[in-house]
Structure 1
Amino acid sequence: MGLFTKKGYENFGAAMEKRRSIYDIKNSVSLTDAKIESILSDIIKHVPSAFNSQSTRMVLLLNDQHHKFWTLTADELKKLMGSERDFTATAQKIDSFKAGYGTVLFFEDESIIKGLQQQMPAYSDNFPIWSHHASAMHQYAVWTAFATENIGASLQHYNGVVDEAVYTSFDIPREWKLIAQMPFGAIGTPAGPKEFEPVNKRLIVKK
């Protein structure tokens, strides 16, 4: 990917700063589908996980599959909200994600987690937590990598609402637990200014 080859941390720091939540996305990107797949492959290969469990799974949805996901998400939300509630604002939000180029679905393979719990019962309670840590690192890595290519993205959490529809509609293994969804595309409206808490309240240095 070449992200860290020129200026070391300066490149990495710039990438972190560039990563923002982008909600106005368009149906285009600067990369080929093959390059997007290559980025995801690099990330899923190199991002760490506890005990090298490699439990994170990703599904890249493009074209009709991307549209299908957000259509079924809207359908499931309508069922959840009921006919008596105004669905207008929710529909507009879902349509904004659907307007993008694609979506990355993040899963964790629970069969691996359960296997580790059986192998190391002393750590049993921690393995699901560590699994979420691994997923979060993959999400951040994808999000930041997209930002370096001027691709806008945001992180969504409709898991718990769309899970069953995802399993049946996309033939996903049942042992994969849906964690998050990341719609992405060309940046329509850039993110606005971001407020930061003082770093000296959040970082302690002792020498």
Structure 2
Amino acid sequence: MQTNFIDLLKNRRSIYALGKNVTATETELNQLIIDAIKETPTAFNSQTTRAVILYGAKHDQLWDLVVERLRSEVPNEAAYEKTKQKIASFKAAYGTILFLTDTATVHQLENDFALYAANFADWAEQAQGSAQNSVWTALAENEIGASLQHYNPLIDEAVQKAFDLPAGWTLRAQMPFGSIDAPAGEKEYMADDQRFKILK
């Protein structure tokens, strides 16, 4: 059987040592990200995932507001110093993708298809995971590292205001991306018999 797709999935890892040495142009990166999201399936073809791609000063602004927002969440100055170091590693990346869900579309689907109303929020979350994996894998195929962060909902209000986002776009994740300055560690897997059943 063909395993090219499986090989691509294996190549996608959480890269935390990210840098700015990316040879692809922003135009190329933008199109790669957009195409990966557009080609990701969604329930009822609802297309609820939104993305904001940040570079340069806007990328820096995001991580500056994250570190400032976290100041009040950590117990002491020593913990805050560790937090700042972690956020600095994301800021060192080339750019960041904000993944959001258009809740207005979700609510419209709930109204239009009452029989399935209880499912659309879950399906939107499934679409998010699929879109994030699609983008992450496409970046990895091009030797661009990324990781997935979740500082929402702490930063939701600040992000919406800073980047003038529509009120219905709810932040779900942040993906810093850039050059791979150090590889990921070994990945551990659960035993297959603990995760899978094959029945006949």
Aligned counterparts, 1:144-183, within 5 A: 144-183=137-176
Q: When the two structures are aligned, how many residues end up with a matched partner?
A: 200
Give 1:17's match in structure 2, choosing from 1, 10, 16. Answer: 10
Q: Using the alignment, how far apart are the partners of 2:140 and 2:37 within structure 1? A: 17
Q: Using the alignment, how far apart are the partners of 1:10 and 1:93 within structure 2? A: 35
More displaced 10-residue stretch of structure 1: 76-85 or 88-97: 76-85
Contact 2:93–2:179, Cα closer than 8 Å, also in 1: yes
More displaced 10-residue stretch of structure 1: 102-111 or 113-122: 113-122
Quote how far apart the aligned CAs of 1:194 are: 1.2
Give 2:127's match in structure 1, choosing from 123, 134, 158. Answer: 134
* 2:106 counterpart residue number: 113
Contact 2:99–2:171, Cα closer than 8 Å, also in 1: yes
Contact 2:37–2:135, Cα closer than 8 Å, also in 1: no
Q: Using the alignment, how far apart are the partners of 1:17 and 1:143 within structure 2? A: 11
Q: Using the alignment, how far apart are the partners of 2:2 and 2:81 within structure 1? A: 44
Please tell me the root mean square deviation across aligned C-alpha atoms, in Å: 1.5
- In structure 2, stretches of 5+ residues that fail to align are none
Q: Note if 1:196 corresponds to 2:159.
A: no
* 1:60 counterpart residue number: 53
Quote how far apart the aligned CAs of 1:10 are: 2.4
Quote how far apart the aligned CAs of 1:203 are: 2.1
Render the CA deviation track for 1:51-87: whole Å, top value 9, x for unaligned. Answer: 1101100000011110110001111111333766631
Quote how far apart the aligned CAs of 1:196 are: 0.9
TM-score using structure 1 length? 0.92
More displaced 10-residue stretch of structure 1: 88-97 or 41-50: 41-50
Letter in 2 for 1:86: A
Q: Closer, same or farther in 2 for the Cα pair 1:85/1:192, shift >3 Å?
A: closer
2:185 partner SS: coil
Q: Using the alignment, how far apart are the partners of 2:176 and 2:126 within structure 1? A: 21
1:29 partner SS: coil
Q: Using the alignment, how far apart are the partners of 2:197 and 2:74 within structure 1? A: 45
